[in-house]
Amino acid sequence: MTQLTDQPVAARLPEGADLGRAMLAPRSVAIIGASDDIRKTTARPLRFLRRQGFTGNVYPVNPRRETVLGERAWADIASLPEVPDHVFIVADTRLVVPAVRDCGRAGVPLVTVLSGGFGESAEGAERLRELLAVAAEYGVRVIGPNSIGVVNPRNGLMLTANAAFAEEGIPAGSSFVASQSGSVIGALMTRAKARGLGFSGFVSTGSEVDLTLGEICAATLDDPEVGSYTLFMESLENAAALGAFAVEAAARRKPVTVYKLGRSDAAAALAVSHTGALSGEDDEADAFFRACGFARVDNFEALFETEALQRRVGPPTAADGHRVAVITSTGGGAAILVDQLETLGVTVTRPSRTVFDRLAELGLDVAENLIVDLTLAGTRHDLVDGSLQVLRASGEFDLVLFVIGSSARLNPELAVSAIAEHAEGPVPVAAWALPDALESVRRLHEAGVPAFRTAEACAQAVAATLGRRPVDPAILRGRRTELPAGGRALDEASSAEVLASLGVRFPMTTTCGTDGVPETEPRFPVVVKALSERLPHKSEAGAVVLGVRDRAGLRDAISAIVAGVEAYDATVTLDRFLVQEMVEETVFEALVGYRVSPAVGPLVLLAAGGVYTEIYEDSSLRLAPVTVEQAREMVEEVKATAIARGFRGGPEGDLDALVEAVVRVSQLARERPDVVEAEINPVAVQPRGRGVVALDALVRLSQEK
């Protein structure tokens, strides 16, 4: 027992396992502001702790009462007989800062704050500054404010005001939940409980003014009873800490499933390029979660059902490993699942003739099809067992999905017994029951077979799990996201110099003034463009003339551009023009973009290029820099690149050179920290073996050089 003293305690800032213990396994807790009125939210934590049998010491703190819910009430933290490991502050907002100060003076390492009112107004912002100053002075770590609390079903710690935890029998499991929404932790618990699933802990992260979601998760990494993570996120404001956690979670083979709000894109489009419009907040989140090796889902039930499949499949590998078999006792149900899978980009693999021959040897008359439909034989233990053995031993599949028919509800002991026997082995088996069959789902989970209540959740889990990629620690550590204020866009010539220094190829180029006399002799035919940092989108301003074939045409082009720009914006003065060799035999036009996101740091984007880029909305995004393998994956993801693969007998483009261009542009992340945005549009992909050429460039710097 740690005794209290009257002396201030020096800052100690608990980290790692110490922080995790104080958070989830405290020897004693205190509740500041605990209410005696059972109708009030502030009475819940003490009630829940007692109902769930928390064995540590609990101290309700309320200076206005002698007792709280029949227990002795303490006047303040200083009057307690020991220093609590964890304090839950449920008092009024105006009392929070003094309470944290009292905790700091006593030596409390961790507080969770339920109250809001920090930062939403000028008064709240000042209150937040005071809170952070006091916490830093005394070394107190803070969860919240606006945190609904912390729960550990393993030891009865119910330090929460979430009403869902009032019920008894909250199951323990292996997945740790961190949620930026307080109500979600209760929703996850109740829905998972119905399926026989449990969790190793819940934390409502609240406003994350001190401890972030990533730091909270990292504090539990070495807890042997935490086997995976379930994250519910509303923002990516603290992505750096989350990325650092992802590296360590991957090293420990602890999978992460994430649900993030924001699929409807409120894109933070940058003003000077198409890249901003094509890489909004949700696209950035996708790129970030991919780099973290997380399985991202947007089906709420899949959020808590996916972790079992992730653990069964194992860590992501560089190999494909995407061969999925579907076996069923109900053809209609299997067709539903196949449709859901195909919608999410998962192609079901058709078994070979050899597989069907071996099924026939078992006495099964199964039609050769995409789906192995056992029909009524799917209720017989021996035939289900034999069929699964054939599929798993064939070497043709990486995952087998069993769709169970009506017997899942009528006779759960028959439907799941044979499937449950295939919980182990190198080829994972998972199941979905067509009827609503919670008992079957529970039995399968207990046996170690991932099981799903809906086809949508099953398909989401499969797509998200198979879509993971191995984590590259180098790209997640030390990412920069803070952008200096100000900055400027370079004109096209200066932009091309920046990108050419990375090895990006441009056409032969010269410049001239309004007199039409080029600095060096151009290679006709040429393109003539206005040269001004105020015209990032020159086509819209009439500032581009194509196919100029001689000096006379050059002068005419300059006159036309001056007139067009004056009509577009009379405040733009032109005195220089770019004269660029025309590039012919273009097979495909691409866009390669780069930007530094304030949320996740440097990103590289590949899209269909040209003037219709934003109409196509055909793009791929990654954290920068990328490897050749990652860039090749991006090229595969952009559907329009099919044009450069001999589409309908057409020529093949040099997509290997496009891959190299993406890699080179992504190196801005390492080579040019002053560049916050860059774009090449279009990149002309020429016939195979002739490379790619950047036809237009734009670069924006973070500050004047």
Q: Is the peptide bond before 470 cis (omega within 30 degrees of 0)?
A: no
Instruction: Compute the average pLDDT of residues 347-367.
Output: 95
Q: What is the pLDDT of residue 11?
A: 45
Mean predicted confidence (pLDDT) in 206-224? 96
Q: How far is CA 72 from CA 34, 36, 39, 50, 494, in A?
A: 11, 11, 19, 14, 74
Residue 310 above 90 pLDDT?
Answer: yes
Sequence-distant (6+) residues with CB within 8 A of 257 are 175, 228, 229, 230, 231, 294, 295, 296, 297, 302, 303, 304, 306, 307, 310, 464
Res 613: pLDDT: 67
Residue 649 clears pLDDT 60, i.e. is over it: yes
Radius of gyration of the chain (CA): 31
pLDDT digits (tens, 9 = 90+) for 272-307: 445 555 556 888 999 999 999 999 999 999 999 999
Query: Quick one: average pLDDT of 122-148?
Result: 96
Cα distance between residue 486 and residue 506, in whole Å: 29
The answer to whether the CB of 456 falls within 8 A of the CB of 299 is yes
| Strand 228-233, strand 256-260: pairing | parallel
Mean pLDDT of the chain: 91
Q: What is the pLDDT of residue 72?
A: 96
pLDDT of residue 492: 92
Predicted confidence at residue 676, as pLDDT, reads 93
pLDDT at 228: 97
Residue 399: what are its φ and ψ, rounded to 5°? -155, 135
| Span 365-394, average pLDDT | 92
pLDDT at 275: 55
CA angle 605, 607, 609 (to 5 degrees): 125
Residue environment code for 417-456, b if the CB has 16+ CB neighbours within 10 A, otherwise e? bbbbbbbeeebbbbbbbbeebbebbbbbbebebbbbbbbb
Which of 371, 347, 349, 346 minimizes the C-alpha distance to 465? Answer: 346
Looking at the predicted structure, is the pLDDT value of residue 584 above 90? Answer: no
> Residue 213: which residues within 8 A CB-CB, separation 6 or more?
178, 180, 205, 231, 233, 238, 241, 242
Question: For 659-703, how does the pLDDT look when each residue is reduced to its tens digit (9 = 90+)?
Answer: 999 999 999 999 999 999 999 999 999 999 999 999 999 999 987
> Which three-class secondary structure state does DSSP give residue 70?
coil
Per-residue pLDDT band at 271 (split at 50, 70, 90) = very low
503-520: pLDDT as tens digits: 999 999 999 999 999 999
Q: Which helix (H) or strand (E) holds 589?
A: strand 588-597
Q: Which tokens go with 269?
A: 């489009």
For residue 8, the model assigns a pLDDT of 43
Which residues make beta-bridge pairs with 438? Answer: none
Cα gap 102→594, rounded to integer Å: 49
pTM listed for this prediction: 0.89
pLDDT for res 3:
42
Rounded mean pLDDT of 443-457? Answer: 95
Check if the beta carbon of residue 105 is closer than 8 Å to that of residue 48: no
- pLDDT, tens digit, 9 for 90 and up, residues 538-583: 888 999 999 999 999 999 999 999 999 999 999 999 999 999 999 9
Share of the chain above pLDDT 90, in %: 81
Report d(CA 353, CA 310) in Å as an integer: 30
pLDDT at 15 over 80: no
End-to-end CA distance of the chain: 60
- Contact in structure between 454 and 337 (CB atoms under 8 Å): no
**Where do the H-state alpha helices sit in 220-348?**
239-251, 274-278, 281-292, 300-313, 331-343
Q: Rounded mean pLDDT of 350-359?
A: 97
Q: Alpha helices, DSSP H only, in 328-450? A: 331-343, 353-361, 381-393, 407-410, 412-420, 438-447
